[in-house]
Chain A
Amino acid sequence: MTQAAFNSFLVALLLVPAVTFILRRWKKARVIPSSLLLLSLITGLFVAGISFWSGKHLAVDLSQWTPFPFALSIDRLSAFFLFLICVVAVPVTLFSSSYIERHYAGARRDWLWSLLPLFLMSMVLVVTASSAFAFLFGWELMTLFSAGLIVVDGDSQERRHNIFIYLLMMHAGAAAVVAAFLLFVPQAPALDFAQMRTSIALMPQSFRTAVFLLAFTGFGTKAGIIPLHLWLPKAHPIAPTPVSALMSAVMLKTAIYGFVRFGFDFLGPGPAWWGYLVLVAGGFSGVLGILYAIGEHDLKRLLAYSSVENIGIIYLALGTGLVFQANHAPIWATLALLAGLLHCLNHAIFKGLLFLGAGAISDSAHTLDLEELGGLLKRMRITGTAFLIACCSIAGLPLLNGFVSEWLLFRSFLAASGLTTLTGATMLPLAAGVLALVGGLAAACFAKVYGVAFLGRPRSDEAETACEVPRPMQIGMVLLAAACVVIGVAPGLVLAPLSATVQEFLPGAAMPQEAASLSAVIPWIALSVAVLVLAIASVRRIKRLTPTWACGLPALNSRMQYTATAFSKPLRQVFSRAYKPNRTVEVLPADQPYFPASISYRSVRTTSFEKSLYQPAIDAVVITAHRLRRLQTGNMQVYLLYIFAALIALLMFMRWS
């Protein structure tokens, strides 16, 4: 039954582009592609849900029709990530059914409806693949389809440049992933996942370390850990909003899936430094990601940087898990993995919601510049309330889902004080300080976002005349907001099957008691807060509308409000080392500094990674290319000489090896 449903889910995803193409001229059939996609995703959600909660394994083997072994199988880990994809994709599709119709027409609309299901399909392939070829096939398609979806929104010079960087880094990452798979060939020539798992015992330690490092860089590039994050704030903001939502919420998680498969499932326990490497990378990404986010006032770029931060939190959890595993503490490793995997789901939900909210804002206020927004909550009550829930979740506040995973991570840091190694017992508890800082900065960042965009007075005419978005877009956001609350108040619903998931691939794992203790206390807190809030709010407070006193001026206007830039100024000042801004102030005319006619101020922030890490590498490549050009003389005789020399070299190599 579920098997048949899964098969039809895959087929339906492939059918959507065909249906879109066939019906493209028939105006009345506009709803058919979106409805079909929605239907298939709901099927997928059920399939994933059933096999995640019940632990039922599914498998599809297409190897007899394909030239290489192409098999899919769903164990609990795959089911969890499939669930994650569908749980975000359903509301996003609902949202898009209205958003795409409003903003795209003709061929661009058809392209979106054709590429969107294929993009989803490729992600489904990645998380369900059980052979290396199927995995890599999906992995490459995922990059290409997402790049295609970005191109639909236009291909100006700047966008092309950004897409180029995206494709370049993705392929560099994919090369590392391919290499990680190829290192398994001596032991498991078919590169079947089950075979790879069993053959790991035969693999020498140096190979295992190499596999780990390749997987770390390969998947790290896709996940966007700093300093491999460069593409992320370039590619995510320029995609059509529903695609940005899917890229940030779901696509990054496929990299986490891959890393968990390699790091925990295939490789098994390794040396502790693997864990510390991941931990440090996570800490850096977390702190720097959210600092860059605070400095942004373009909403989508801000959200992209905040994805870097959340990936950092997930890597902190995975690193902690690896350290525990190396120290033979499987139950604590379960706790850390629960934190990491649950944060994947949580981040998918609230980041999807935030991107959809950004779409709703750009739909009704026609801008995503925070400095042009303001007062949207009064004009868009449903969107505003859903966005508020997402902001509270991402800030890690209790009673919402973000808190649950951060709490689990805090508790696994605390559990580390019981480790026997001194490094573990100091490093991990201190990492709690890093997580606390990240949490505090995230709260600051999203207080800024919400306070500036949705509260106060409108800062532009567009924001003033904004109105609520159509019903399907609202429903999409409300569904995700509801998911935030459900997981936040009843974390046990997800934690129980999730710890069963971890037990499937982590030997010795068991449900940690911390997970149960949170489920026991959170509902009580939720109940008491709800009762208190309702009780106090029901006491009638006499209310009088009156304009704010403007210190004697006629009236306050929106220019007197604090801006997003002003709000983040103290934090940017304190953490100025992370920003390294390049400021220029120009006062005109120059001979009258105290009585200027105009002052212009520019502050440009180039991230130091581009300057000090990537630029030298690019320069080196270019210089080497220039040097190599000398080989290409264009003279036929010289080329013949090359061939002859190569032949001699090969013969000599064959002779002596």
Chain B
Amino acid sequence: MTIAINVVQVLMLVLMAPLVRGVIARIKARIQNRRGASVLRPYSDLAKLFHKEDLVPPSASFVFRLAPVVMFAVTVVAAAFIPVLRSSALLGIRGDFFILVYVLALGRFFLLLGAMDGGSSFGGMGASREVLVSTLAETPLLLALMSLAMVAHTASIEKMVLWTTGQDFFELSAVHALAFAAMALVAIAETGRIPVDNPTTHLELTMIHEAMVLEYSGPSLALIEWAGAIKLTVIMALLVGLFLPWGMAATFSLPAVAIALVLWLVKLGGMALALALVESSVAKLRMYLVPDFLGVASALAILAVVFTALMR
């Protein structure tokens, strides 16, 4: 039973990911006074791309086509770390957050290599910028997670979620507020949203992630897009699990699981709304201001760790 629900959780994260993107795009359109495309649009985009052919530069090696596959595979595996309906996950009990972060890093490493294998200027340009953002994002992300793990006395994601579920929302410490702030900033940087990167731009002066995947087309691009959507959903679900886990099903009964599902969807919807609001109200940062942005995140994360140590 546990395993069944855990598998359902992974499938949910993987299959619902394009919908999350669609919802965010739709909310953004509404804020900008447009009607916007259907929330199901990302699915039809993926279907279209999967039916097309892969255009491969003649100079490219096998890494070019392997990279999207690895990226997709590790992102799906990362989804298996995240508790959604119950405070358990397929790889949750022994899988700690260090492994989660580095599994995602494996996918990104391959995407960097794939980008550079295209042999054009854009791939290298995108890879070089992406590497700057991801390098600087790693410290605040791990330190914020570290402070939570120190509070909960465990590194296992599952147990950290379980620990927070047992707390009263109004009694959560300042550490959680600091860690949440740091992780929210990192989440924006990691998933390439405004103000760090603009997922809809194709202007060479500003694009980061889009420049990296510029040479990809067809099924490979579909895998990358899908993996990107899963990564976004995984990080949002991680934030929900770590900071707002209340309502997760404690028993296996159908109503409890149904309530947990509805609550989870509401929380995710709330995060999507927040993200859309941020994206619509903030301008993209100049690239050399991104280190400052992540510097703020690092400072918050360092404070979170120091406070945790002081409060013991």
Contacts and interface: CB of A to CB of B under 8 A. Distances in A.
Contacts of B220: 541
A388 B63 contact: yes
A378 B61 contact: yes
B54 A542 contact: yes
Residue in A450, A455, A568 whose Cβ sees the most chain B Cβ within 10 Å? A455
15 contacts: A392-B109, A395-B109, A407-B99, A426-B309, A432-B142, A436-B142, A440-B139, A444-B134, A444-B135, A456-B118, A518-B94, A529-B73, A544-B56, A570-B131, A571-B132
Contacts of A545: 56-58
Contacts of B287: 570
B142 A433 contact: yes
Contacts of B61: 375, 377-378, 384, 454-455
A573 to B, nearest CB: 7
Contacts of A548: 57, 118-120, 215
Interface string A57-88: 00000000000000000000000000000000
Given A543-B56, A548-B215, A451 B124 contact: yes
Nearest to A514: B155
A444 B54 CA distance: 27
Contacts of A529: 70, 73-74, 77
B235 interface: no
Contact of B146 (A414, A437, A444): A414
Contacts of B60: 455
A631 interface: no
Contacts of A645: none
Nearest to B143: A433
B279 interface: no
A429 B102 contact: no
Contacts of A429: 143, 146-147, 150, 305, 308-309
B125 A562 contact: yes
Contact of B150 (A417, A436, A563): A417
Nearest to A560: B121
B62 to A, nearest CB: 8
A425 B309 contact: yes
A457 interface: yes
A413 to B, nearest CB: 8
B73 A533 contact: yes
A536 B125 contact: no
A237 interface: no
A546 B55 contact: yes
Interface string A396-421: 11110001000100110110011000
B251 interface: no
A537 B69 contact: yes
B170 interface: no
Given A384-B61, A455-B61, 11 more contacts: A395-B105, A397-B106, A432-B142, A455-B60, A455-B117, A528-B77, A529-B73, A532-B73, A547-B57, A548-B57, A562-B128
Contacts of B137: 440
A571 B65 CA distance: 27
Interface size class on chain A is 35 or more
A440 B288 contact: no
Nearest to A549: B120
B234 interface: no
A620 interface: no
A455 B150 contact: no
A32 interface: no
A546 B113 contact: no
A392 B63 CA distance: 13
B113 A451 contact: yes
B91 A541 contact: no
Interface string A445-469: 0011011101111000000000000
Contact of B54 (A378, A436, A543): A543
B258 interface: no
Contacts of A568: 128
Contact of A447 (B109, B291, B298): B109
A609 interface: no
B310 interface: yes
A398 B215 contact: no
B55 A544 contact: yes
B112 interface: yes
A437 B80 CA distance: 26
Contact of A546 (B57, B64, B115, B141): B57
Interface in B286-312: 287-288, 291, 298, 301-302, 305-306, 308-310, 312
B95 A451 contact: no
Contacts, number: 248
Nearest to A521: B94
B91 A525 contact: yes
Given A436-B143, A447-B112, A574-B136, A525 B58 contact: no
B121 A562 contact: yes
A537 B104 CA distance: 19
A562 B204 CA distance: 14
Interface string A548-584: 1010000010101111001111110110000000000
Given A377-B63, A573-B288, A447 B138 contact: no
Nearest to B294: A574
Contacts of A407: 98-99, 102
B200 interface: no
Contacts of B136: 437, 440, 574
B59 to A, nearest CB: 4
A293 to B, nearest CB: 13
A566 B74 CA distance: 29
Given A397-B109, A422-B310, A443-B105, A524 B91 contact: yes
Nearest to A407: B98
B116 A455 contact: yes
A598 interface: no
Residue in B58, B59, B137 whose Cβ sees the most chain A Cβ within 10 Å? B59
A579 to B, nearest CB: 15
A411 B149 CA distance: 11
A566 B124 contact: yes
B128 A569 contact: yes
A561 B121 contact: yes
B219 interface: yes
B8 interface: no
B72 interface: yes
Nearest to A536: B69
Interface in A583-616: none
Contacts of A561: 119-121, 124
A452 B56 CA distance: 18
A447 B115 CA distance: 10
A443 B305 CA distance: 25
A415 to B, nearest CB: 9
Nearest to A531: B73
B200 to A, nearest CB: 20
Nearest to A546: B55
Contacts of B94: 517-518, 520-521
B98 A426 contact: no
Interface in B36-92: 53-66, 69-70, 72-74, 76-77, 80, 91
Residue in B129, B142, B147 whose Cβ sees the most chain A Cβ within 10 Å? B142
Contacts of B64: 455
A439 B98 CA distance: 12
A389 to B, nearest CB: 12
B184 interface: no
B17 interface: no
A426 B305 CA distance: 7
Interface in B250-298: 287-288, 291, 298
A434 B140 CA distance: 10
Given A398-B99, A411-B98, A447-B113, A436 B139 contact: yes
B117 A456 contact: yes
A532 B72 contact: yes
B94 to A, nearest CB: 4
B116 A398 contact: no
Nearest to B102: A398
A430 interface: yes
